[in-house]
């Protein structure tokens, strides 16, 4: 029998809208055949993979799908709002939005060990998702945004980093419509499904979210500095035409302060680090030369607009020896 987890040699690479349409039509039929009139549950993070799976399933089975979006309080600015806008308001999905910010941040209070932080975030995510799933009745399928590299590189980046995956103890049959696709193909399919560019071209975002960019014990005020500075960075990279050219970029706010001076008074402000990298496979990475004027504009805006930010640095370290993230 054919191995369902192996991409057939004959499978054409999806590079055009027409090929994506064909894939979508085939998947709609196959999802309908698998699910029948059953109910499907999906954890929708807003990342490319889960968003494409959601859009496919909505097309195939509409309200038989329930999406759960857990906001762990470590999302980038505007991301949860975009998930609600696109899936609930525009596509009319059954979407359960859980704002679990306080649960996560309370548990993380005072925890500075990076592994411990990841464990707490992953464990709590499963708990929240599990609680929501139990409130629903008659779910027999769990949809997942597994893609081909996840199957191929079972010891690759995602497996190495990911914070937990989904509840193992719940016995659902899996629905994995994009498991034979590579990332670039997922994006072509996402466009064909009409998802917004900002969602389809979204950068990789770690499961523990901004938590790994807030090194040491996370505090709410440091998280605010992080989220606001990150939003400015994204806006200015977009304005400078860099958003599609630089592979990944974000800010980091370390857990120590530095001396500054405001209105003649000594202050101890936060430090914001800009991290931008280019890479093919995230195993190694280089730092792009960003125009001085762009860096200066971002610096000025962060210093003027972000509460508590008093110093801005640009990280010049390639991978290796530095990793892309800080924790
Ligand atoms: P590092 O920091 O190891 O990151 O150089 C390599 C890539 O992996 C992303 N990353 C994660 N992705 N869950 C993920 O799905 C995670 O926990 C995680 N941590 C890091 C990182 O953003 C970079 O693209």
Could you report the per-residue pLDDT of 61-115, keeping only the tens digit for each?
A: 999 999 999 999 999 999 999 999 999 999 999 999 999 999 999 999 999 999 9
Mutate to test the pocket of ligand 1, among 251, 276, 319, 324 (most ligand atoms within 8 A of CB): 324
Residues with CB under 6 A from ligand 1: 157-158, 161-163, 204, 206-208, 212, 248, 282, 319, 323-325
Containing H/E element for 325? none
pTM of whole model > 0.85? yes
Length of the chain: 327
| 187 CA distance to ligand 1 middle (Å) | 19
Under the phi-then-psi rule, with left for phi > 0, alpha for psi from -120 to 50, and beta for the rest, what region is 206? beta
| 280 CA distance to ligand 1 middle (Å) | 13
Could you report the per-residue pLDDT of 240-288, keeping only the tens digit for each?
A: 999 999 999 999 999 999 999 999 999 999 999 999 999 998 999 999 9
Question: Three-state DSSP class for 39?
Answer: strand
CA 313 to each of CA 10, 99, 104, 327: distance values in angstroms, whole numbers, following the listed order = 49, 32, 29, 18
Give how far the C-alpha of residue 246 lies from the chain's centroid of Cα atoms, to the nearest Å.
Answer: 17
User: What is the C-alpha to C-alpha distance for residues 40 and 174, in angstroms, rounded to an integer?
Assistant: 9
Q: Which atom belonging to ligand 1 lies closest to the Cα atom of 157?
A: 8
| 108 CA distance to ligand 1 middle (Å) | 20
User: What is the C-alpha to C-alpha distance for residues 282 and 247, in angstroms, rounded to an integer?
Assistant: 9
Please, what sign has the CA dihedral across residues 217, 218, 220, 226? positive
Question: Three-state DSSP class for 265?
Answer: strand
Q: What mean pLDDT is predicted for residues 200-218?
A: 96
Domains of the chain: residue spans and CATH: 17-200 (3.40.50.620), 219-314 (3.30.300.10)
Q: What is the mean pLDDT of the chain?
A: 94
Looking at residue 92, its pLDDT comes to: 96
Looking at residue 170, its pLDDT comes to: 62
Nearest to 216 by CA among 251, 271, 255, 252: 255
| 232 CA distance to ligand 1 middle (Å) | 22
């Amino acid at each position: 029998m054919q191995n369902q987890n192996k991409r057939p040699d004959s499978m054409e690479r999806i590079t055009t809208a027409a090929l994506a349409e064909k894939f979508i039509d085939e998947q709609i039929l196959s999802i309908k055949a698998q699910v029948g009139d059953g109910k499907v549950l999906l954890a929708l993070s807003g990342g490319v993979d889960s968003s494409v799976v959601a859009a496919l399933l909505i097309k195939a089975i509409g309200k038989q799908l329930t999406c759960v979006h857990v906001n762990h309080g470590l999302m980038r600015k505007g991301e949860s709002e975009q998930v609600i806008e696109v899936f609930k308001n525009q596509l009319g999905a059954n979407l359960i939005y859980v704002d679990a910010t306080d649960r996560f941040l309370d548990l993380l209070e005072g925890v500075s060990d990076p592994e411990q932080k990841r464990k707490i975030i992953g464990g709590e995510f499963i708990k929240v998702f599990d609680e929501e799933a139990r409130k629903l009745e008659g779910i027999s399928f769990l949809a997942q945004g597994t893609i081909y590299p996840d199957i191929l590189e079972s010891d690759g980046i995602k497996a190495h980093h990911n914070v937990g995956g989904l509840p193992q103890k719940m016995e659902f049959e899996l629905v994995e419509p994009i498991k034979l696709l590579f990332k670039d193909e997922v994006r072509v399919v996402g466009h064909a499904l009409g998802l917004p560019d900002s969602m389809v071209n979204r950068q990789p975002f770690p499961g523990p979210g901004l938590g790994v960019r807030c090194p040491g014990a996370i505090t709410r005020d440091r998280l605010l500095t992080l989220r606001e500075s990150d939003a400015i960075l994204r806006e200015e990279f977009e304005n400078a035409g860099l958003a599609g050219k630089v592979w990944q970029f974000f800010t980091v706010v370390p857990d120590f302060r530095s001396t500054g001076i405001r209105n003649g008074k000594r202050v101890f402000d936060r430090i914001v680090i800009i991290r931008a990298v280019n890479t093919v496979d995230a195993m190694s990475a280089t730092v792009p030369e960003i125009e001085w004027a762009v860096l200066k504009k971002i610096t000025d805006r962060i210093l003027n607009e972000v509460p508590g930010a008093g110093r801005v640095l640009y990280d010049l370290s390639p991978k290796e020896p530095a990793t892309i993230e800080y924790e």
